[in-house]
Structure 1
């Protein structure tokens, strides 16, 4: 299903890209944009994860260079019955994280140094489990492609605006003209943003639920969401501000001043996410599931209940396994 959604996303973003090409160069620009978009689609499917990691200056770590962080990712990946992802750290004071990769076997988890320094182990486990849930749900391909192509569309729109300032193709009858160019310049970034929002809002709720089951305690994740949201308002993420098309990849919107649960938000409202996690915690408690488990202990998914098929091995024995 996610592959179908990715194909639809690529088609939508390609159409926007081609429309911008037409605005810049008429029919010739449209053809060139279409060729570029096809090449970009193929490239992004295989290399978008590397591009996004590079965007945010992430560097890979291992058990020797970051033993506690790496070990936590390894333990949670085992509980989720996922292949061990590559592990990255972004040298950024804002606490945040994202996952990327075209498949579970080609995935990566990246956390900021601010996140690792600021969160207790239990809350960090909740965040990492959320990102592993995106990998398990195969969300990362669509999210990463959206970030890559959405960024390209934003850059092209900026070029279009720059070109208009110096005359552009006002007299090119084969193009869509000045009015069309203005419309394309205004609509394209919002269209790309709307596509990203359409794929991210519901997926965040799904990843929250699954991440809570992986780490074993929904309240660990809800506490981390609140802590991160407070920090985001105080600590800017300069890299994310430069690439707003990638904001949807993070567990909390990294752009300052965001967070409303409306049409122009890249994430659901944090309070709504926390409420859903609290409801899950209460449901698990009523079912007799111990919420004290974690990456090194028993968890909700290790016990019989509505999220388990009776196995005592690993979190992946729930309905999502």
Structure 2
């Protein structure tokens, strides 16, 4: 990998996406949210989820998958963040997630199918995206969203209706937070093409098809989607995203492409080098 700027002293406010800021503020004011958080994170559900993961996954370290551990360490150095645990879980669905449980070290989980789909630099981009949740202290709401999606089916009818309403609010917040974490991925990779490639492969890649995919064509596709702004397409976009845990891949690609070509991102790298300090490795 090419040398990277290490963003010593980096603060979340320096790269947080505006929609994330707005959504987080709105979520904190939502009636019933404090009750939901206490209910979900105060009982056994959080502990069960934690134990289920560590008992059925492989913990990455210096003696276990050291190449992945090095990617994690480097990403943490760039973002100026303590190193969390990283687990690899056997799963045919490409995915990654972050879990922050009170009183325990936070951890990241990567599915095996995701690792098989991506190149090392792209895997690091995913790790950095997940680290973005920790850097921005998304952990409590993110954990609550994960647990609530598991719990809705176990609640009474009244409780399920309330939980589903809160779940929709949490999912809307998660989608906004994802834009911020994509920026964390870019800060680590320092290569917008790598970020776009990850999103492209998640949208329509496979170990067989991935070498044939074209990033520039995917970005052109994202721009075409964004230009569809008449009333019907706006309605369809809203319906399409309402129950998703992540924004549509083309929208994420568009957002990261814009930020990578904007002054804020370039100024952040140069400012961090000159004012906070930097190192290459």
Fold match by TM threshold 0.5: yes
Task: Report deviation, 1:112.
Answer: 0.7
Work out the CA distance in 1 between the residues paired with 2:265 and 2:85. 37
Provide structure 1 residue ranges, at least 5 long, that are not aligned to the other structure.
16-36, 161-180, 233-258, 290-299, 316-321
- Relative to 1, partners in 2 of residues 1:116 and 1:204: Cα closer, same or farther, differing over 3 Å? same
Match of 2:165 in 1: 191
Q: Is the 8 A contact 1:125 1:220 kept in 2?
A: no
Aligned to 2:253: 274
Indicate if the aligned counterparts of 1:133 and 1:210 stay in contact, CA closer than 8 A.
Answer: yes
- 1:42 counterpart residue number: 42
TM-score normalized by structure 2? 0.66
Following TM superposition, by how much is the alpha carbon of 1:86 offset from its aligned partner in structure 2, in angstroms? Answer: 0.6
**Cα distance, 1:14 vs structure 2:** 4.2
Distance 1:262 1:285, change over 3 A: closer
8 Å Cα contact 2:148-2:163 kept in structure 1: no
Deviation of residue 102 (structure 1)?
4.1
Q: TM-score, normalised by structure 1?
A: 0.59
Given that 1:99 and 1:109 are in contact with CA atoms closer than 8 Å, whether structure 2 keeps it comes out as yes
> 1:78 & 1:10 partners in 2: Cα distance?
38
Match of 1:11 among 32, 51, 66: 32
Task: Tell whether the 8 Å contact from 2:76 to 2:83 is kept in structure 1 after alignment.
Answer: yes
Of 176, 184, 191, 1:202 maps to 176
Q: Which moved more, 1:78-87 or 1:206-215?
A: 206-215
Q: Which SS does the other structure have where 2:43 is aligned?
A: helix
- The equivalent of 2:275 in structure 1 is 310
Change (3 A) 1:66 1:151: same
Describe how 1:43-62 pairs up with structure 2 within 5 A: 43=43, 47=47, 50=50, 53=53, 57-62=56-61
SS in 1 for 2:91: coil
Structure having the higher Rg: 1
Residue segments in structure 2 that go unaligned for 5+ positions in a row: 1-20, 207-237
Verify the 8 A CA contact 2:60 2:69 in the aligned structure 1: yes
SS at match of 1:106: coil
Aligned mate of 2:196, from 213, 222, 231: 222
Equivalenced residue count is 229
Cα deviation code 1:113-133 (max 9, x no counterpart)? 111222111111111111111
RMSD: 3.9
Residue 100 in structure 1 maps to residue 95 in structure 2: no
Alignment of 1:92-241 (within 5 A): 92-102=91-101, 106-157=105-156, 160=157, 187-188=161-162, 190-231=164-205
CA distance in 2, matches of 1:140, 1:205: 16
Q: Report the equivalent of 1:65.
A: 64
Quick one: distance in 1 between partners of 2:278 and 2:153? 46
Q: Deviations over 1:199-240 (max 9, x none)?
A: 2011011111122112212321221111012259xxxxxxxx
Q: Which position in structure 2 is the counterpart of 1:318?
A: none
Q: Quote the residue 2:228 is aligned against.
A: none
